[in-house]
Structure 1
Amino acid sequence: MPFINATQVRAGMIVNFEGELCRVISVEHQTPGNLPARVVVKMKRLKDGINRENRFGSADKVDKASLEQHMLEYLYEDGDHLVFMNNETYEQMEINKDVLGDDLVFLQPNMQCEIEFYEGTPLSITVPGNVVLEILETDPVMKNANATGSYKPAKLENGITVGVPPYMESGERIRVNTVDRTFMERVK
């Protein structure tokens, strides 16, 4: 497995810490006065979801898990599983919904998703950075509304609510950032 310096660890990475695969939640670089610099890493153990925290010296090595990444096309939902297809081999694969987590609301048929595997086991699914969704419900358009800094809530077709400019109305389609779940732009 490849080793990297503790200063190269980033949130979202999967590391092999004490023989356990963990997803890095946050990284904080600390330089406490005249003491040596250190890196505080908060991580979540993948097998049971338990949070851990460890301090590394800035010169320490961290075991970055060797993951395979594949772009697969989402086809459909089958009970507790999601069915994906490799567009090169046409092989279909079922992956438990839990692997996707909260981003399940953004999944759409034919969407290309990046899936990380460790020794053949899927560890994470990443949806594209933005999706186009329709506004189902929002407050009426305000007279003389323009794109000011104030937003109003809008319920989207996937069930989530985001803030949209006051001139937006039900039935319009918008682009939503899937990372922070915010309005990006109107789609014509």
Structure 2
Amino acid sequence: MSDVGTREPGEVFGPRMTLFADMLSVGLATALMSLPLVTVPAALSTACAVLRGAGEGQPATAGRYFAVFRRRLRGGDLTAGLVALAGALLVAADLALAGAGLPGASLFAVVAGAIGVAALVVGLRACARPESLSDWRSAVRAAARDAVRDVGGSGLVLLAVATAALCAWMLVPLAFLAPGPLALALTAVHVRQAVISKS
């Protein structure tokens, strides 16, 4: 990466603004690739990998995103997507049943919500791990360990999700850009946790 104070030829706003624009283009590409729903984990994992590569001097562009994503769609990625989709539908159904007034519904709703939030944090942290590019099982195991050991990072993941959801709720067209900042936040939490682990 170039020095923060210098601009390379063709840069209008400087490196920081270029990374911001690239992050938004990666977010739009992630939203497009997530439309089939079963591709959401692979799309978000690819976004994290592309944005992580920006720290290593690789371009964080939509073109690179599509090149990496094209190599991704294999059985493991689609299985991860099916598991994530089934989990989301199960939590939604459980919460709907809890709202139907069954006995013990309030306690059940709290337990189902807590399980859903924990699964969301582990799943998102797994998407940010480099292992998710080739082995979802090891990525999920490592993400579960990270979620327990780094509670602050898990809180940051939840704040990133809440911010993305709030932006999408406030202005619907932002929903197509929200995956970019979310992927950047997940990548930053992973890098932060790696630095803490080394020290």
> TM over 0.5, yes or no?
no
Q: What TM-score do you get using the length of structure 2 for normalisation?
A: 0.22
**Higher Rg of the two aligned structures:** 1
Bigger share in helix: 2
Q: Structure with the greater relative contact order (CA < 8 A, sep ≥ 6): 1 or 2?
A: 2
